[in-house]
Amino acid sequence: MVRTQKPQGEVTRGTTAPNRLRRVDRWIAATQSGPLRAGARPLAVDLGYGASPVTTVEFHGRLREVSPRLEVVGIEIEPERVAAGQRIMSGYEGLSFRRGGFELPVDRPPVLVRAFNVLRQYDEAAAWRAWDGLCARLAPGGVLIEGTCDEIGRRAVWVALAAEPYTGRAEPLTITFAAHLPTLVKPSDLAERLPKTLIHRNVPGERVHALLADFDRCWAIAAPQSVFGPRARWIEAVSLLARSHPVFARPPYGGRGRWRLGEVTLPWSAVAPASPPAPS
């Protein structure tokens, strides 16, 4: 049965645009085929898709290429946004829209939840609680992808999480930095897109601050590669960063093949906060 309780969460600004989430969708399709194909009726949720259902429709199309049996549900708190999605869903097999929030009003646990640009208005402790709640609702082996991007999707950072086996609490696995390289001045410009659990940790003494500082240093050293284009400079900078950070010993996903796309994915341990968040 689909739950009918009051939606949990706050209404977002709803800003959206076509192709805004193409970078994270591309990464999900390339790295999460296991969860997406799990079971007879795999379900993915797009949580808080905004004022237009366009990014949910794109999410559905991109992931169905990987998992043709996948069903996608777009979830929003605002009834008007849900109605906008429902007006177009009959044209797409396996796509539907429902009103709800963090409680995820679906009829079975999802194998994947994408929650993008929905936690920006929360404090750090509340964002951790949202992670815990969403991960507890995943199917076994499921994954939560939570992050933020700019208004046209040129800069994005996201975290992949699973539920801890015994507690069910959120277990961050990886963090991905992605950018449109021709417009990137330096890697640390991505700091403004850090998830809410990290954005206030970008200070001396924290791992994420040290990582971004090192990334900027490697970017500066790699400047001569700019004659071959921004992609060559990015690949060289990431290669240099890899030499000074042991976490690169076994890249979680892709290596150079993903770097060429303006991405780099690291284990969460590379940026994990030095201390737990203060209670709100």
Is 150 found in the same domain as 106? yes
> pLDDT tens across 3-20, in order?
457 877 566 665 777 899
Is 197 found in the same domain as 152? no
Helix (H), strand (E) at residue 72: strand 71-76
Is 48 found in the same domain as 136? yes
- Does residue 279 contact residue 125 with C-beta atoms inside 8 Å? yes
Domain boundary among 114, 146, 178: 178
Domain boundary among 178, 203, 234: 178
Distance separating alpha carbons of residues 176 and 196, to the nearest angstrom = 14
Distance separating alpha carbons of residues 119 and 124, to the nearest angstrom = 9
* Arithmetic mean of pLDDT, 40-49: 95
Helix axes 230-244, 207-221, angle to 10 degrees: 130
Residue 277 lies in a domain: no
Domain boundary among 149, 178, 207: 178
- Does residue 202 contact residue 208 with C-beta atoms inside 8 Å? yes
Helix (H), strand (E) at residue 85: helix 79-86
Helix (H), strand (E) at residue 161: strand 155-163
- Does residue 32 contact residue 68 with C-beta atoms inside 8 Å? no
Q: In this predicted structure, what is the pLDDT of residue 139?
A: 96
Is 163 found in the same domain as 30? yes
CA-closest candidate to residue 273, choices 162, 124, 147:
124
> pLDDT tens across 86-119, in order?
988 878 999 999 999 999 999 999 999 999 999 9
Residue 258 lies in a domain: yes
- Structure tokens belonging to residue 218: 């490697």
Is 63 found in the same domain as 168? yes
Residues contacting 239, CB < 8 A, separation 6+: none
Lowest mean per-residue pLDDT among 48-52, 205-209, 246-250: 246-250
Is 54 found in the same domain as 164? yes
Q: How many domains does the chain have?
A: 2
Q: How many CB atoms lie within 10 A of CB 222?
A: 19
Measured in residues, the chain has a length of 280
- Residue 75: domain span: 22-178
CA-closest candidate to residue 237, choices 259, 215, 255:
215
Provide the Cα torsion 189, 194, 196, 197; round to 10°: -130
Bigger pLDDT: 88 or 69? Answer: 69
> pLDDT tens across 189-247, in order?
999 999 999 999 999 999 999 999 999 999 999 999 999 999 999 999 999 999 888 77
